[in-house]
Amino acid sequence: MRVLLTAGPTYEPLDPVRFIGNHSTGKMGYALAEAFAAAGADVTLISGPTNLPDPTDPRIRTMRVQTAAEMYAAASAEAPTADVWVFAAAVADYRPATVAPEKIKKSGDTLTLELVKNVDIAATLGKTKRPEQFSVGFALETEHEEEHALGKLRRKNFDLVVLNSLRDAGAGFQHDTNKVTLLAADGQKTIFGLKPKAAVAHDIVQAVLTRISPHA
Ligand code: CTP
Ligand code: CA
């Protein structure tokens, strides 16, 4: 089994010394890479900038990227030959419309940045998904959680969406624990308790394995 996994944030440059990014640590994505490798899969981990070392498991190949455009280029090259796609990255939705060639100098009292939309990696690749391929997405929501997560499942052609609720203390960004609900395209819903990200990753891998090989 071959797994394509995106993880971490993306950094969108503004000038040679500044970028727009987010607080994703990459821990959930890296834990998933380890869990899929432990289950015997060959994993391509396409990672945005993180402080985490490359996983040492020989089944995991780590590719480092900075921007959403770079992550998309790497993911689209791997997607056709992967059996399972996992989109755990916190991709920047927008990037600066232009990247200044020199450091932007301080001038007026306000500064307005123009941003343009980035490619939606999961949705774009979702349009190319073959029936035997399986796609897993994440949704981080603060309101109407399930409705929004199911909307993403449909729009991005996911087979499974991992819903992270920011309402739960100890879950999501910047934590070593997470609390998720899995929503499947087949209508199944599974609510898990707060646990270490490695255990959450194991639960997600099991949910994928039972759906791609019902006898596993
Ligand atoms: N995703 C992606 N490429 C993007 C944005 C999101 O691949 N440019 C993926 C994420 O990795 C995640 C899923 O899509 O698996 C949902 O990401 P999220 O940010 O929750 O969804 P958006 O469609 O960007 O909607 P919004 O941020 O408005 O909630
Ligand atoms: Ca987003």
Catalytically annotated residues: 22
Give the pLDDT score at 214: 61
- Check whether 52 has a pLDDT greater than 60: yes
Kindly report the average pLDDT of the chain as a whole number: 95
Largest CA distance in the chain: 65
pLDDT digits (tens, 9 = 90+) for 112-163: 999 999 999 999 999 999 999 999 999 999 899 999 999 999 999 999 999 9
CA distances from 125 to 62, 74, 135 (A): 20, 12, 9
Ligand 1 centroid from CA 18, angstroms? 23
Give the pLDDT score at 173: 67
pLDDT digits (tens, 9 = 90+) for 133-143: 999 999 999 89
Q: What three-state secondary structure class fits 151?
A: helix
Ligand 2 centroid from CA 9, angstroms? 11
- Check whether 215 has a pLDDT greater than 60: no
Q: Is 85 in the pocket of ligand 1 (CB under 6 A)?
A: no
Q: Is 93 in the pocket of ligand 1 (CB under 6 A)?
A: yes
Query: How much is the pTM?
Result: 0.96
Give the pLDDT score at 20: 98
Average pLDDT over residues 101-105: 97
pLDDT digits (tens, 9 = 90+) for 61-72: 999 999 999 999
Q: Which ligand is nearest to the CA of 121?
A: 1
Q: What three-state secondary structure class fits 77?
A: helix
Given ligand 1 and candidates 93, 159, 182, which is best to mutate, with the most ligand atoms within 8 Å of its CB?
93
Predicted interface score ipTM higher than 0.85: yes
Give the pLDDT score at 169: 67
HSE of 189 in the Cβ direction (CA atoms, 13 Å)? 8
Per-residue pLDDT band at 175 (split at 50, 70, 90): confident
One-character DSSP codes across 25-50: -SHHHHHHHHHHHHTT-EEEEEE-S-
Say if residues 13 and 99 touch (Cβ distance below 8 Å). Answer: yes
Nearest alpha-carbon partner for 21 in 96, 127, 75: 96
Tokens at 70, concatenated: 């770079």
Q: Is 69 in the pocket of ligand 1 (CB under 6 A)?
A: no
